[in-house]
Amino acid sequence: MTAALEVRNLCKSFGGVSVTRDVSLTVQPGERRLIIGPNGAGKTTLFSQIQGEIKPDSGSIRIFGQDVTRLPVPARAHVGMARTYQIINLFPKDTVAHNIVLSLLGLMPLKNNPFSALEKRTDLYERAVELLESIGLGHCAQRKISEISYGEQRRVEIAVALAQKPRLLMLDEPLAGLSKDERVIVKDLISAIPRDTAIVMIEHDMEVALEFAEQITVLHYGKMIVEGDRNTVVNDPKTREIYLGQ
């Protein structure tokens, strides 16, 4: 079986400081993978290398068997990868539906046609509204991003990623800053994502994250120190020492 994601011996340094140190991991199609570690462990930097925003110094990245190590970000979307961010990355002055439409355009030749009247593409807006209705936000379609709550923005960000029908979805702290009730809603949204999409998630809410994860990778100072299923990782002395504080 071809892996959804295969990272081999990935290394990255900034000014002599190693932030990714010989990291290797394999995520299978449909897998739910959790990446944990204390602040500064290099989790988001690893995500950014997988996505293509940061170029590694050495090592390789394959998505569904294709080497994407040197491909730009847009090309990786065409391979089947999408990502959310730790800090919400939406267009606040545009409507919720328009944010979804822009994501739909990301994989279409139409995005390269400056003369196309986007407002006439009612089919795209209909698809956007359908997607929003599927996550309980159809009523927000014509509201601006700046007019909806933070928790709703988190859900829209996930919808923006799902609009591209990814086979590999990278979620960077999707529950960050949410209330208890909002966390339940977003957790249920993530749990409902079909198994034809592999999910790799960074998360600090350990109760929710451990419930989600089938396999866990622990990073510390950019190096992978433990990997395995929930019981293996949680009970490993190195995990308990550096992350769980025990």
Residues 6+ apart with CB under 8 A from 115: none
Q: Which of 196, 146, 129, 193 is nearest to 167 (CA)?
A: 196
Average pLDDT over residues 214-238: 91
CA 209 to chain centre: 14
Indicate whether this model's pTM tops 0.75: yes
**Residue pair 226/218 in contact by the 8 Å Cβ criterion:** yes
Helix (H, G, I), strand (E, B) or coil at 81: strand
**Residue pair 244/230 in contact by the 8 Å Cβ criterion:** no
Residue 115 pLDDT grade (very low, low, confident, very high; cuts 50, 70, 90): very low
**The CATH number fitting domain 5-242, selected from 3.40.50.300, 3.40.50.720, 3.90.950.20, 3.30.70.980:** 3.40.50.300
% of the chain at pLDDT higher than 70 = 93
| pLDDT given at position 20 | 96
Give the whole-angstrom CA distance, residue 172 versus residue 88. Answer: 10
Residues 6+ apart with CB under 8 A from 170: 47, 50, 51, 81, 82, 83, 84, 199, 200, 201
Residues 6+ apart with CB under 8 A from 245: none
Would the pLDDT of 125 be above 50? Answer: yes
Return the amino acid letter for 170.
Answer: M
| pLDDT given at position 108 | 64
